[in-house]
Amino acid sequence: MSASVRTAAQRKARLLLIAELSPVVIVLFVLFGGALVLAVLQSLGFAPWFGVNTFPDFSYFGALWGSSAFWVSLWLTLYYGFVSTIIALIMAIILSLALIKPFRSKTLYKYLYKLPLMIPYTVGIALVVLMLGNGGIMSRLLAFVGMIDNPGQFPQILKTHYGWGIITVYVWKQVPFMTLAIYAVLLGIGRETEEAAAILGANRRQIFFSVTLPQILPGIVSSTLICFAFNVGAFEAPFILGGGYPDTLPVVAWRYFNDANYAFQLQGMATVVSIGIVSGVILFGYLAAYRRYERMRGRA
């Protein structure tokens, strides 16, 4: 009797757990997983709704990976992703360390730095065009103070393959996000270990590299992981602020999808799947290296 009562209770608890987990399971496995499977199938030539079914057909990948433009696009995609993540990270660490210290108007700064989080990327892109474009505010200001003769002499910052415009938007938007994560970790670890290190004779550089940095690593890893994944996959900033052909991979994919010829969708899918493979491999390697480091330091 009591055994059957217990199993009934257990069954109920299990049903509740399934109900609680189902939203994420549905989104992750059905919507996202289903789309992923479809994308892979299409990239391998399975698209009967366009009247194409040559599955399994690696020619789309072959055509893509065989062109030198793809590799330049891949390089540009990774370059923008890496550089903006690293610049944003350095700035976010400096900002987080500053915010930990007591100073006047700290409350104001704690609101101010979060402002870009609430502004959409597109608005950020528009602001960059307004500020840094030729004929933008910076060029006019420099001309006004006489550093250049006319706004036209302002160096080309946007629409080059250096991607300073893209990097500026990513950094502007992601510094607050990373700061949020790192600052929270810093608050959690408190100041005591740093104070202990100072009393033990460590200088500021030693304290940062051997005491603070290893402890904020979880915040650094999680926030850079998210930002890098976004930067590699984002489309609008490189589309508007990039240097044109060869474009970053998401822009390349978009051009295929946007083509009047439906058959190019399959080529686009191959591009999307390639982005997924590359960023997946990089992020997996990053996480694995971090796990290894954590295990070395006694954390499970």
For binding to another protein (CB under 8 A), which residues are involved? 192-193, 195-203, 206, 210-211, 214-215, 297-299
Q: Residue 197 or 266: which CB sits closer to another protein?
A: 197
Least Å from the CB of residue 193 to another protein: 5
Least Å from the CB of residue 206 to another protein: 5
Q: Residue 3 or 297: which CB sits closer to another protein?
A: 297
Q: Residue 149 or 192: which CB sits closer to another protein?
A: 192
State the distance between the two ends of the chain, measured CA to CA, in whole angstroms: 42
Least Å from the CB of residue 225 to another protein: 20
C-alpha to C-alpha distance for 92 and 199, rounded to whole angstroms: 27
Cβ contact 115:176 at 8 Å: yes
Cβ contact 41:33 at 8 Å: no
Q: Residue 90 or 196: which CB sits closer to another protein?
A: 196
Using CA atoms of 67, 69, 75, 77 in order, give the dihedral in degrees to the nearest 10. Answer: -110
Q: Is 72 exposed, middle or buried (0-12, 13-18, 19+ CB in 10 A)?
A: middle
Q: Residue 197 or 270: which CB sits closer to another protein?
A: 197
Least Å from the CB of residue 215 to another protein: 6
C-alpha to C-alpha distance for 126 and 54, rounded to whole angstroms: 43
Least Å from the CB of residue 205 to another protein: 10
